[in-house]
């Protein structure tokens, strides 16, 4: 079973009411068409079949991409009184505790069974701890921009950026490693989740008429070859059984190999950070944003503690995430 926040349940109730009205009115055909228009992910169909319907094209230039092209970060698009980031934390974490006086919106603590790594992660809101759990766009916004989203209306791009179907709470480190990669350049280290991950990317791209590159399609086909029965998910979030499958179930990967891989990634990350710092020093200036408006216009928001441009003055609630 996957966890569903009570905050999302009113929408399910509305759907049930509409379906009942359709059945009473004898207008199943019209209502089915309306549901298809609002969903359109290919949910329940074989992921490989839906993949075959996606257009294959080269990656368009990143020219013009800014985070603001997808609307305000973590906007309250469903008008439930809570921002998208906290909505997803409430949905994906277990044992959630909310900050008093926020109408059960701001998540103070909880536990994440991370689908990307298979690890259990404790989340505690704070300047130095919030980044342990981050919200990932399954189809990264930059990737979407280069594969059709730049042709969408801004209102649709805002929907894409805040669509619960395209959002997962994940380990912060894994989210940073993924960056804006597609299936050809990044897959979860938790091999037990790769089929579901790729299938959801296919569903998102089908829903928003985004294309795939030839390399991306080939990578997806390789993953799905190991799970031919995989369907496009018909739910948001992650099923608990999928999240709990860790690399321990992979007989081809020993614990020692995993540790060696982690050490190599640590070294690469440290080298990249050192190179970035050296470049900043050689240029004679650090990344600086006068305010959050400037950060958003530069496409840098939200800024996590430790990233270029982060400073305490931009982090109003001191949770380690500025301009969220």
In this model, does residue 33 exceed pLDDT 70? no
In this model, does residue 193 exceed pLDDT 70? yes
H or E element that contains 109: strand 107-113
Share of the chain above pLDDT 90, in %: 59
pTM over 0.75: no
Q: How far apart are the C-alpha atoms of 130 and 315, rounded to whole Å?
A: 12
In this model, does residue 116 exceed pLDDT 80? yes
Reported in sequence order, the residue ranges of the chain that DSSP labels E, i.e. its strands, are 94-98, 107-113, 120-124, 133-137, 167-171, 303-304, 321-322
Q: Between residues 177 and 247, which one has the greater pLDDT?
A: 177
Helix (H, G, I), strand (E, B) or coil at 120: strand
Mean pLDDT estimate for the chain: 83
In this model, does residue 31 exceed pLDDT 70? no
In this model, does residue 15 exceed pLDDT 80? no
- pLDDT (0 to 100) of residue 290: 86
- Which residue bears the tokens 């990350």? 269
Overall average pLDDT of the 214-221 stretch: 98
- pLDDT (0 to 100) of residue 306: 83
CB atoms within 10 A of CB 173: 18
Could you say which DSSP state residue 285 is in? -
Domain ranges across the chain: 9-247, 254-283, 287-324
Q: Between residues 172 and 265, which one has the greater pLDDT?
A: 172
Q: Between residues 111 and 240, which one has the greater pLDDT?
A: 111
Closest Cα partner for 223 from 251, 202, 253, 244?
Answer: 202
- pLDDT (0 to 100) of residue 275: 67
pLDDT tens digits along 230-259? 999 998 888 765 555 544 444 444 566 777
How many Cα neighbours within 13 Å face the side chain of 254?
A: 3
pLDDT tens digits along 43-99? 999 999 999 999 999 999 999 999 999 999 999 998 999 999 999 999 999 999 999
In this model, does residue 108 exceed pLDDT 90? yes
- pLDDT (0 to 100) of residue 26: 41
Supply 54's token pair.
Answer: 């996606």
- pLDDT (0 to 100) of residue 14: 36
Let me know: does 125 contact 99? Beta carbons within 8 Å. Answer: yes
Helix (H, G, I), strand (E, B) or coil at 212: strand
């Amino acid at each position: 079973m996957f966890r569903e926040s009570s905050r999302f349940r009113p929408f399910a109730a509305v759907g049930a009411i509409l379906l009942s009205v359709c059945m009473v009115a004898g207008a199943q055909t019209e209502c089915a068409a309306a549901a298809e228009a609002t969903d359109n992910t290919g949910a329940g169909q074989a992921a490989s079949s839906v993949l075959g319907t996606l257009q294959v094209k080269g990656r368009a230039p990143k020219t013009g991409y800014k985070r603001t092209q997808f609307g305000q970060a973590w906007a309250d698009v469903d008008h439930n009184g809570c921002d998208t980031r906290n909505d997803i934390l409430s949905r994906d974490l277990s044992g959630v505790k909310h900050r008093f006086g926020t109408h059960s919106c701001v998540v103070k603590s909880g536990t994440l069974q991370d689908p990307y790594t298979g690890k259990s992660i404790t989340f505690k809101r704070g300047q130095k701890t919030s980044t342990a759990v981050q919200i990932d766009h399954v189809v990264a916004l930059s990737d979407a921009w280069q594969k059709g989203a730049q042709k969408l209306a801004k209102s649709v791009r805002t929907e894409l950026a805040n669509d619960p179907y395209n959002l997962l709470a994940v380990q912060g480190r894994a989210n940073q490693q993924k960056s804006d990669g597609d299936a050809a350049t990044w897959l979860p280290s938790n091999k037990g989740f790769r089929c579901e991950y790729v299938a959801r990317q296919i569903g998102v791209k089908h829903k928003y008429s985004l294309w795939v590159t030839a390399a991306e399609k080939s990578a997806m086909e390789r993953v799905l070859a190991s799970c031919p029965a995989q369907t496009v998910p018909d739910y948001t979030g992650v099923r608990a059984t999928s999240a709990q499958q860790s690399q321990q179930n992979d007989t081809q990967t020993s614990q020692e190999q995993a540790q060696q891989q982690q050490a190599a990634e640590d070294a690469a990350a440290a080298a990249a950070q050192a190179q970035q710092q050296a470049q900043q020093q050689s240029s004679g200036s650090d990344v600086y944003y006068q305010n959050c408006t400037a950060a958003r216009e530069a496409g840098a928001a939200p800024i996590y503690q430790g990233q270029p441009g982060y400073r305490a003055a931009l982090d109003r609630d001191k949770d380690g995430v500025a301009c969220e």
